[in-house]
Amino acid sequence: MNAEQDLATSAVEQVSAVLGGAEVEASANRHRLSLTRFANSVIHQNVAEDVTTVRIQIHHEGRTASASASVVDASALAALIERVSAVVRVAPVDPAWGGLAAPAVPPVGPNEATEVAPDERAVVVRDFVDGAAGLETAGYCRTNVWNGAFANSAGQSVHGSAIEAGMSGIARTNGADGVARHAPLRIGDLDGTALGARAAAKARAAVDPMEMPAGRYEVVLEPTAVADILENLAVAGFNGKAVNEQRSFMRVGTDQFDRSITLVDDPLAIGSRFDTEGTARTRLTLVDRGTTVALTQDRRSAAEAGSNSTGHAFDSTFSWGPSARHLGMQPSGVEDEIATEVDGPMADSSVAALVAGVERGLLVTDFWYTRMLDPRTLAITGLTRNGVWLIENGQIMAPLRNFRFTQSYAQALMPGNVRAIGRTATPIPGDTYTATSPRWSCPAVHLASWNFTGGASG
């Protein structure tokens, strides 16, 4: 039994000894998260942590309480148990308790847990800087090694490990920025030189942009922009709690998307085999050729909806509801097809193929600061960033100034608005607020219309 299993199991046993008959679950997670950050083409922030956190949830006599703490020894675990046991005795009644996960063996996933030295991240950063060939650069290279275990009083006991690597960087020249992002599993698969060169090519092609009037334009969205659509669909669309509360537009069994759209959440890709409630995870299809076929559920939202947990509980489930964190849009090409680098501002050959099919429209690299105006329509406002270009007759014609847009993401992918999907998908790193970053698998998309509501320049 490893240290995390020991902690989770010990927590359940100790709570059960104190509160007879209580439903108890405990998870122990050790993260060795490291992130090397660079700006002005030098490493300016370089951090690492080695932290183990234990979370305990108890349902006792109709009441529920949870608590978590950084735990280093038996006394810290005992203090946590004492605290949550005291809280549950006085916690308000919880009629929506979803029960414990039954024993089940999760699917087998990658099982690597090798820590990465700071020198290895610094080399990737140096390669990105060199790849940008003299342009100013900024960004990060990140690695995370997770070892975790879960146990509950119903007999479920699982453990696992996962690895992540990611890079996001920009190159800058004469007021223009270009970006490149990639989130493979292993740092050895991060090609800093290629990413730096791609970002630099975009930046060079974005110099001296012209202003275009606001309005609806046909667009090709690169994978870095598509990631934002997937994230908002995951958080506010497929989220079982949001659907229960009628805040989401999702309706299972309904043709809500264009037939070219298939969306799959695949946490197994990084080795995340169970959620914080101990429910085994699967590769879950949410949209199948345009039809919404499933939602993401934790035990609480599933109980309310009369369905089953899909393994999407995480630490902030109460607040946000269960959401997919490894959502991917199925590309149009054959399985495992790989795009090649191309000249100019387009991210790769997959993007270039979509651009070739546009008579007049815009190529959008990235979205920024997107915020929801209305959850029922998934109306979002935000800005373009890191490069926008005018496309005419299948050719990149000119760089454009950034736009502000106000667009319903539900309508963006609805039947009839999707002209084409890219042949390949790129894993894009999500935000870095949690130790385990979301990861979005994104092809480029060609849409008939996107609502740009103004210019972003001052």
Partner 1 sequence: MPANLSSRSLVRRGRSRLWSSGMSEFAAAEAAVQAAIDAGARYADARVMHRRHEVMSARNGDVDDVSQTSDSGLGVRALVGSGWGFFAVADLSDGTVRDAGRRSAEIAAASALVSRAESHLVPSEAVSGSWSSDCAIDPFDISLSVKGDMLVRATELMGEHGADLAEAMCQSWETRKWFVSSEGHRIDQHIRESGAGIMATAIGDGETQRRSYPANRGQYRTRGWEFVEELDIVGHAARVGSEARQLLSAPVCPSGETTLILGSEQLALQIHESVGHAIELDRILGWEAAYAGTSWLDLAQLGSLKFGSELMNITIDPTIPGALGSFGYDDEGTPATARDAVRNGIWVGVLAGRDSGALAGLDYGGSVRADGWARLPMVRMTNVGLEPGPHTFDEIVAATDDGIYMETNRSWSIDDRRLNFQFGAEVGYEVKNGHLGRLLRNPTYTGIGPQFWSSMDMLSSEITAWGTPNCGKGQPGQVGHTGHPAAPARFQNVRVGVRA
Query: 49 to each of 14, 30, 115, how far by Cα in Å?
Result: 28, 10, 11
Is 344 one of the binding residues for partner 1 (CB under 8 A)?
Answer: no
> 26 to 55, contacts with partner 1 by CB under 8 A?
28, 30, 33, 35-54
Q: To which residue do tokens 């675990």 refer? A: 77
CA-nearest of 450, 361, 427, 368 to 398 is 361
Query: For the residues of 5-35, what is the DSSP string, one character each?
Result: HHHHHHHHHHHHHHSTT-EEEEEEEEEEEEE
* CB-CB contact of 276 with 322 (8 Å): no
Residue of the chain from 157, 285, 349, 408 that contacts partner 1 (CB under 8 A): 408
Largest alpha-carbon pair distance within the chain?
A: 73
Residue of the chain from 212, 379, 420, 448 that contacts partner 1 (CB under 8 A): 379
If the CB atoms of residues 3 and 338 are measured against partner 1, the closer one turns out to be 3
Could you tell me which residues are beta bridge partners of residue 177? 172
If the CB atoms of residues 319 and 340 are measured against partner 1, the closer one turns out to be 319
If the CB atoms of residues 343 and 433 are measured against partner 1, the closer one turns out to be 433
Task: Candidates 217-225, 324-332, 391-399, 433-441: pick the segment binding partner 1 (CB under 8 A).
Answer: 433-441
Closest distance to partner 1 from the beta carbon of 146 (Å): 14
Is 456 one of the binding residues for partner 1 (CB under 8 A)?
Answer: yes
* CB-CB contact of 273 with 104 (8 Å): no
Query: For the residues of 176-230, what is the DSSP string, one character each?
Result: EEEEEEE--SSGGG--HHHHHHHHHHHHHHTSS-B---SEEEEEEE-HHHHHHHH
Task: Decide: residue 92, CB within 10 A, 0-12 exposed, 13-18 middle, 19+ buried.
Answer: exposed
Residue of the chain from 4, 25, 258, 298 that contacts partner 1 (CB under 8 A): 4
If the CB atoms of residues 368 and 448 are measured against partner 1, the closer one turns out to be 368
Task: Candidates 3-11, 183-191, 204-212, 338-346: pick the segment binding partner 1 (CB under 8 A).
Answer: 3-11
Q: Strand, coil or helix: what is 452?
A: strand
If the CB atoms of residues 6 and 337 are measured against partner 1, the closer one turns out to be 6
If the CB atoms of residues 77 and 219 are measured against partner 1, the closer one turns out to be 77
Residue of the chain from 9, 10, 232, 332 that contacts partner 1 (CB under 8 A): 10
Is 66 one of the binding residues for partner 1 (CB under 8 A)?
Answer: yes
Length, in residues, of the chain = 458
Is 339 one of the binding residues for partner 1 (CB under 8 A)?
Answer: no
Residue of the chain from 11, 12, 65, 442 that contacts partner 1 (CB under 8 A): 65
Is 392 one of the binding residues for partner 1 (CB under 8 A)?
Answer: no
Residue of the chain from 1, 74, 102, 105 that contacts partner 1 (CB under 8 A): 74
Residue of the chain from 121, 281, 312, 419 that contacts partner 1 (CB under 8 A): 121
Is 382 one of the binding residues for partner 1 (CB under 8 A)?
Answer: yes
How do the residues of the chain divide into helix, strand and coil, expressed in percent and rounded to 5?
25, 40, 40
If the CB atoms of residues 73 and 343 are measured against partner 1, the closer one turns out to be 73
Output phi, psi for 414, to 5 deg: -75, 165
Q: And the tokens for 161?
A: 């490990």
> 251 to 290, contacts with partner 1 by CB under 8 A?
none
Is 448 one of the binding residues for partner 1 (CB under 8 A)?
Answer: no
> 309 to 328, contacts with partner 1 by CB under 8 A?
318-319
Which residues does 271 contact at the CB level (< 8 Å), separation at least 6? Answer: 109, 110, 111, 112, 146, 160, 161, 162, 163
> 169 to 188, contacts with partner 1 by CB under 8 A?
169-170, 172, 177, 179
Is 195 one of the binding residues for partner 1 (CB under 8 A)?
Answer: no
Residue of the chain from 25, 27, 85, 140 that contacts partner 1 (CB under 8 A): 140
Task: Candidates 108-116, 133-141, 231-239, 250-258: pick the segment binding partner 1 (CB under 8 A).
Answer: 133-141
- As a whole number of angstroms, the distance between CA 391 and CA 219 comes to 9
- As a whole number of angstroms, the distance between CA 149 and CA 407 comes to 41
* CB-CB contact of 213 with 180 (8 Å): no
Residue of the chain from 402, 424, 426, 436 that contacts partner 1 (CB under 8 A): 402
